[in-house]
Amino acid sequence: MKVTLNVNGTGHLLDVEPRRLLADVLRDDLGLTGTHLGCEHGICGACTVLMDGAPVRSCLVLAVQCDGSSVRTVEGLTGPDGEPHPLQRAFSAEHALQCGFCTPGFLMVAAGALETDPDLAEKPDAVAGVVGSNICRCTGYEPIRRAITRAAREQRGGHHER
């Protein structure tokens, strides 16, 4: 089937089998390997991307379901000049990654949440909900929570407080 996807601001006309997953098309056809496949059952969140601004598990979405959609992967977080996104800077500053396997999924679910709610930093329960949506086996989640809060404050122009 012919599918048109806008991925990270670039249009792609792809010929895909109807049963192919979005994660596989992103990784294998477009070379965007930042989208990681973990559990392949939609539980871990490592494959999270934004589709039309909403976080989705790309291991559960067929590429044909995305026809005409805008998809943003972790590669699309950086600015056009290569400047890291506030979330990427905050994850580094707060040591919110260890092995890094889950990081792209956390970055994308957090990016979607921050775009939906710029006041996320003032809502600890909402930040906890974002963090609780994905699985990390290394960090213990607290550094991830701090990083999301820090990035939210930075995007709003506020100062970071622990």
pLDDT digits (tens, 9 = 90+) for 108-148: 999 999 999 989 999 999 999 999 999 998 888 999 999 99
DSSP annotation of 29 reads I
> Which amino acid, one-letter code, is at 10?
T
The more confidently predicted of residues 19 and 140 is: 19
Cβ(119)–Cβ(63) below 8 Å: no
At 92 the pLDDT is: 96
Contact 158, 121 (CB under 8 A): yes
For the beta sheet containing 10-15, the strands, ordered from the edge strand earlier in sequence to the opposite edge, are 10-15, 2-7, 70-72, 48-51, 54-57
- Does the pLDDT of residue 161 top 60, yes or no? no
Average pLDDT over residues 77-84: 92
Rounded CA gap, 37 and 44, in Å? 9
Contact (CB, 8 A) for 144 and 103: no
The residue that leads in pLDDT, 23 or 158, is 23
pTM: 0.94
Give pLDDT, residue 162.
47
Q: How confident is the model at residue 159 (pLDDT cuts 50, 70, 90)?
A: low
What is the amino acid identity at position 152?
Answer: A
Instruction: For each of the domains in the chain, give its residue range(s) and CATH number, in order of start.
Output: 2-76 (3.10.20.30), 86-156 (1.10.150.120)
Mean of the pLDDT values across residues 27-49? 97
